[in-house]
Amino acid sequence: MSICFPLRALAGLTWLRILSRLRAPWAFLYGLALPTFAYLAFGLNPNADGAWRLEFAGSCATFATFGVVLTSSLSSRQQLHDPWNRYQRVLPLGTTALLGALLAENALLILLSAGLVLGVAVLTGVGVPWAETYLALLLGSIPVALLGLAISHWVRSQELPVVSSILYMGLSFVGGLWSPPQNLPPLVALISPWTPTRVWGEMVWAAIGNSWAPLEIWLKLGGWTVLGLALMLIARHYQQLPHFR
């Protein structure tokens, strides 16, 4: 069999997954547009210097990506019982192709959501290192995705919209994505450095400034990744027990 067939099948399945997202276009567009509107509303302050606008563009891009990753991971378990997912499992593509399509879908949506914000920033005169910023966004999304998958095993489907909104808005604020970390209230400022969104933001701010994040940030990223993976495995284990509800 030619290698072109599995690649074409993977591309087709990825495209179909993206189209399935567009079944709720307003929610999808809202998640894309809100961070861009935030940048246009606050990032074009004539009194702000170039460095602040660049950092704020990184914050808005992280905010946009956070919404995509959190929504995708929290809804993943709910989607297992969707007729579309049951149909995918009978296709002659194998588990690897299905997993590859899921990863490709998230990578493309991250590129789209962050690219919209960063593209607007470029049009307003901000220079963005695209490759470094996108890599930082992808790496920072890993622990968030794992934590979302873990939480999805403990929350009932009807509770997911509320939980998603609380986590999205709450962690964005505490992580310093809405306001510079130095402007956070004192109590929030004590918690902020230990949150996954603050770690994610620090990575993106360093990348968008053409530098590397400090070792402390990489260690925190690794710690959150290990914690997220452990919680996901524990949640899956208890979900499979007969008494678990």
177, 63 in Cβ contact below 8 A?
yes
pLDDT at 243 over 50: no
Q: If pLDDT is split at 50, 70 and 90, which confidence band does 204 have? A: very high
pLDDT tens-digit series, residues 140-170:
988 998 888 888 878 877 787 888 889 999 9
Convert the pLDDT of each residue in 15-53 to its tens digit.
776 776 666 666 666 667 788 888 888 877 777 777 888
Find all residues with CB under 8 Å of 134, minimum gap 6, and list them: 110, 111, 114
Find the range with the poorest average confidence among 58-72, 143-157, 164-178, 199-213.
Answer: 143-157
The rounded distance, in Å, linking the Cα atoms of 129 and 201 is: 15
pTM of the complete model: 0.81
Q: What is the pLDDT of residue 196?
A: 95
> Averaging pLDDT over each range in 16-20, 97-101, 214-218, which range is the top one?
214-218
Average pLDDT, the chain: 80
Is the pLDDT assigned to residue 228 strictly greater than 80?
yes
Dihedral of the CA atoms 63, 161, 96, 65 (nearest 10)?
-10
pLDDT in tens, 72-83: 778 766 665 566
8-22, 45-59, 97-111, 201-215: range with highest mean pLDDT: 201-215
The pLDDT of residue 90 is above 70? no
Residue with tokens 């563009």: 57
